[in-house]
Amino acid sequence: MDKHYWKNAYKDSWEASASKEKYVKEIIEKQTGLEVLEIGLGAGSSEFIEGNAKDNELEKGDADLYVKDKDCFIEVTGPNIKMDFDRPLWIRPDKLRNAYRKLRDGKGKLHVIIHVLNEKNDEITIRVIVLDNLFFDHLITKKSFNLVKPKIRGREETYYEIPPKHETIISLEDFLTKLRNL
């Protein structure tokens, strides 16, 4: 497969993605006083980066942000269209595999996915999925999350579908408290 297949598919949304990453970074820094680093391939940027993750000495599915002083990895995601809060959250399998592998290998005290949602009423809602033993028990053992394969921009994609009120989802405020207390 072409190394730039998915980049080309999503190039029109890079600016929106970078904006979400910067927004989350600013909130965390402002609310906690902690420095947040942009570590993922293209995190915080809408510039084209040649090659895939491996070519750039990264791993597929690496998180976007990292809070060094707290050893916390943060993936920022969310649809680039307005949606209702009660819709399931879709998470790419490679993002979950990456976090699981890092947890298993003792890398990172906290792994989260921050889901930024622009609701139809123009409110911004931020939810945080904590990727811990409870989450991976639901994913691997209990098989609580369906694998869905929607067609987006004419391409079939694969995601795990997380119910919007799942027990592993916490508020932004609860996440910030958890982060401060690490």
Query: What pLDDT score does 158 carry?
Result: 95
Reported as a single tens digit per residue, the pLDDT across 42-95 is 676 656 566 666 656 668 889 999 999 999 999 999 887 777 889 999 999 999
- Check pLDDT > 70 for residue 166: yes
pLDDT score for 75: 97
The helices-and-strands tally (H runs, E runs) of the chain is: 5, 11
Strand pairing category for 110-118 and 124-130: antiparallel
Task: Quote the pLDDT of residue 79.
Answer: 81
| pLDDT per residue as tens digits for the range 98-151 | 999 999 999 999 999 999 998 777 888 999 999 999 999 999 999 999 999 998
Question: Which pLDDT score is estimated for 140?
Answer: 96
The secondary structure of residue 36, as a DSSP letter, is: -
Q: What is the pLDDT of residue 181?
A: 96
* Cβ neighbours for 90, distance < 8 A, ≥ 6 positions apart: 148, 150, 159, 160, 161, 162
Residue 156: what are its φ and ψ, rounded to 5°? -75, 130
Task: Note whether 32 and 178 are within 8 A (CB).
Answer: no
The pLDDT of residue 121: 79
Domain count, the chain: 1
Domain carrying residue 125: 5-180
What pLDDT score was predicted for residue 50?
Answer: 63
